[in-house]
Amino acid sequence: MTFQQLTYVVEISKCGSINKAAQKLFLSQSGISTAVRELEEELGIQFFVRSNRGVEFTPEGKEFLSYAASLLEQKQRIESLYGEARNASAPVRFSVSTQRYPFTEDAFLRMLQTTEDNRFCFSAKETGMDAVIDDVYDHRADIGVIFLTELTEKIIRRLLDSRDLEFHEVAAVAPCVYVRKGHPLTRLQTVTETDLAGYPYVSFEHDQGVATDFSEEYQIVSLKKPAKCISVNNRSSMYNVLVRTDAFTTGSGLLVENLINQPVVTVPLAGKTCIRLGWIVPKNSKLSPLVEKFVDFLEQSVAESIRYTESLHQSLSRSESANT
Do 100 and 82 have their domain in common? Answer: no
Do 131 and 42 have their domain in common? Answer: no
Confidence of residue 84 (pLDDT cuts 50, 70, 90): low
Do 58 and 109 have their domain in common? Answer: no
Q: How many CA atoms lie within 13 A of 303 on its CB side?
A: 7
Do 121 and 138 have their domain in common? Answer: yes
Residue 280 scores a pLDDT above 80: yes
Query: End-to-end distance of the chain based on CA atoms, in angstroms?
Result: 78
Do 64 and 102 have their domain in common? Answer: no
Mean of pLDDT values over 161-176:
96
Write out pLDDT tens, residues 222-260: 666 778 999 998 888 999 999 999 999 999 999 998 776
How far apart CA 120 and CA 81 sit, in angstroms, is: 13
Task: Centre a 10 Å sphere on the Cβ of residue 287 and count the other Cβ atoms it contains.
Answer: 13
Do 152 and 273 have their domain in common? Answer: yes
Confidence of residue 87 (pLDDT cuts 50, 70, 90): low
Q: Which residue has the higher pLDDT, 88 or 182?
A: 182
Mean of pLDDT values over 40-57:
86
Q: List b or e across 89-113, with b for residues whose CB sees 16 or more CB atoms inside 10 angstroms.
A: eeeeebbbbbbbbbbbbbbbbbbee
In percent, the amount of the chain with pLDDT more than 70 equals 90
Range of the domain at 164: 93-323
Do 208 and 240 have their domain in common? Answer: yes
Confidence of residue 142 (pLDDT cuts 50, 70, 90): very high
The answer to pTM > 0.85 is: no
How far apart CA 8 and CA 23 sit, in angstroms, is: 12
Confidence of residue 126 (pLDDT cuts 50, 70, 90): very high
Choosing from 71, 87, 103, the residue where a domain stops is 87
Do 195 and 76 have their domain in common? Answer: no
Residue 282 scores a pLDDT above 90: yes
Choosing from 48, 72, 87, the residue where a domain stops is 87
Do 138 and 66 have their domain in common? Answer: no
Choosing from 87, 108, 143, the residue where a domain stops is 87
The CATH number given to whatever domain includes residue 316 is 3.40.190.290
The pLDDT of residue 18 is 85
299 three-state secondary structure: helix
Do 145 and 46 have their domain in common? Answer: no
Count of domains in the chain? 2
The pLDDT of residue 321 is 53
How far apart CA 63 and CA 2 sit, in angstroms, is: 18
The CATH number given to whatever domain includes residue 82 is 1.10.10.10
Do 48 and 194 have their domain in common? Answer: no
Do 137 and 282 have their domain in common? Answer: yes
| Residue 268 CB contacts under 8 Å (≥ 6 apart), including other chains | 174, 175, 176, 189, 190, 191, 253, 313
